[in-house]
Amino acid sequence: MILYYLPSTDPAVLALDEATKQTVTTGELGTAVPALSLSNAVHVPVLVVVGDFDAAFCTAPSCSVSGSLNAEASFFPPDACLETAAIAGAGHDLNLHVQAQQTYDVVLSWLDRRVGSDPRVAPTSPCQP
């Protein structure tokens, strides 16, 4: 199961996901990898969040142990102010792991700091490349 880290997956969620899965098209697969090279044209703050046991993006045994996220900065220009986070105990499908709330907390905290939660108020830590 490449999308899940089974020790932190609710079996009922896994069963429902399996029962309602859909196909992926060759068009989707054919454009996913080439699109990765477009990140060097991103000039806004970027947050990359993965599950620490994301088998699709992390080198075994985990992102934090292997340092898989260390290379991410090379894909973005400096003004992207890249930040990365690995959610402990989660796999690729962050929304369907028991740690989903931790993921949301990381994203919301980053948004508040880098973008701001109110368009009339400056963010507390805007991007400064």
**What confidence score (pLDDT) does residue 27 get?**
81
Residue 23 lies in a domain: no
**What confidence score (pLDDT) does residue 104 get?**
97
Residue 29 lies in a domain: no
Task: Give the domain range for residue 97.
Answer: 1-18+39-129
**What confidence score (pLDDT) does residue 101 get?**
97
**What confidence score (pLDDT) does residue 22 get?**
86
Residue 25 lies in a domain: no
**What confidence score (pLDDT) does residue 129 get?**
63
Other C-beta atoms lying within 10 Å of the C-beta of residue 36: 9
The structural domain count of the chain equals: 1
Tokens matching residue 51? 């599950």
- Is residue 115 a contact partner of residue 24, using CB atoms and an 8 Å limit? no
**What confidence score (pLDDT) does residue 97 get?**
95
Residue 110 lies in a domain: yes
Residue 34 lies in a domain: no
User: Rounded CA gap, 14 and 53, in Å?
Assistant: 16
Q: Running along the chain, 129 residues long, what does each successive block of 10 average in pLDDT?
A: 91 94 82 80 94 94 95 93 96 95 96 90 85
Residue 85 lies in a domain: yes
Q: Which is nearest to 56 in space by CA: 4, 126, 121? A: 4
pTM: 0.87
Residue 102 lies in a domain: yes
Residue 32 lies in a domain: no
